[in-house]
Amino acid sequence: MKKIGVGLIGTGYMGKCHALAWNAVKPVFGDTPDIALVHLGEANEELARDKAAEFGFARSSGDWRRVVEDPEVDVVSVTTPNKFHAEMAVAAFRAGKHLWCEKPMAPDLGDAEAMLEAARQSGKVAVLGYNYIQNPAIRHIGRLLRENAIGRVNHVRVEMDEDFMADPDAPFSDKHEAASGYGALDDFGVHPLSLITTLLGPVASVICDMMKPQERRKTGDGGEREVETYDVANVLIRLENGASGTLQLNRAAWGRKGRIALQIFGSRGSILFDQERFNEFQLYLTSDRGTEQGFRTVLTGPQHEPYGRFIPAPGHGLGFNDLKIIECRELIRCISGDREAHIIDFETGFRIERTVHAMARSFRDRNWIDVS
């Protein structure tokens, strides 16, 4: 393709991330088709018009359906709240568009399955916004694991903590409604699952516990509402490769801003990564001499692809939006027919969705659940 026409639905935090990525992917990588920002959709005409001017889109609409129906749009970015993903995704596939949809697929597993089936029937590229797997540090950790650098992996631990739900006086929001999902489990717990799945393979079985630090929250009219989602989740997992693991999630962890602490333990070493120290990881190898054995800190640089596409010198650091640019390039590779693209498609994404819902069933039934 010489040119890709882009449609964007939703202009909040993630919508802006997608717009930045579409604007930057060709200047950063150089090997992509020209990008035409064709049509932006929002909840009303005025907001759509303002954001289209801000992001650089040629047209705007207060009805998202006009975006997916636009004949000049080849690929649609869906960055709306999770509960809207299914309808928009299915409409995009029926209109013959490729799709870049933010995670998770949908709060309801049936809706996620409908999205997957629509993607299969369309034959179009369907990928999900799991950009943390694009970090050059994570990519290199994957390479070390493929090279068997730490031997056979026997255990993995992942903690994901943020504090945006920690304030007990914060008002009730849509993230406290059951319609938004389970809470920490699928709101951001799918990110650790994307790392585990990419680096180590699928989860086979789970047992989960969840809790609500805050049972009720104030509403804008001076009343209160019951919180319907769970801000804390703890999960034991067993991977298909036989390794054990734990997943600990907390949206009410004061002081934690964007922490994903990944620990991978093998028969001949260990690997540690913390998202709040974005541009480094730690490596321990038993092959080192005993007199110098210890964790070494590896700082990412141009030797860790595709870091060098952004900065020619090590130690300067990439950021969240840079990962979105990398993800955008991987999407374009998919559209171009490259089967080796490093990205999570709907097939893998649906497995992650099934894992989340198995965790929720486990909490309800109080026993181990196989992810089937």
Q: pLDDT tens for residues 233-245?
A: 999 999 999 999 9
Under 8 Å between Cβ of 69 and 63: no
pLDDT in tens, 248-285: 999 999 999 999 999 999 999 999 999 999 999 999 99
Its pTM stands at 0.95
Under 8 Å between Cβ of 89 and 64: no
Q: How far apart are the first and last CA of the chain?
A: 38
Burial of 188-220, coded b for 16+ CB within 10 Å and e otherwise, reads: bbbbbbbbbbbbbebbbbbbbebebebeebeee
Domains of the chain: 3-124 (3.40.50.720), 133-370 (3.30.360.10)
Say what the pLDDT of residue 83 is: 92
Average pLDDT, 10 consecutive residues per value, the chain (372 residues)? 95 97 98 97 98 98 98 98 96 98 95 98 98 98 98 98 96 92 92 98 98 95 94 98 98 96 98 96 96 96 97 95 98 94 97 97 98 89
The DSSP output letter for 310 is T
Beta bridge partners of 370: 205
Say what the pLDDT of residue 262 is: 98
Under 8 Å between Cβ of 62 and 42: yes
Say what the pLDDT of residue 372 is: 81
Beta bridge partners of 30: none
Say what the pLDDT of residue 215 is: 96
Q: In the chain, where does DSSP find H-type helix?
A: 13-29, 45-55, 64-69, 85-94, 109-122, 136-146, 184-187, 190-200, 320-335, 346-365
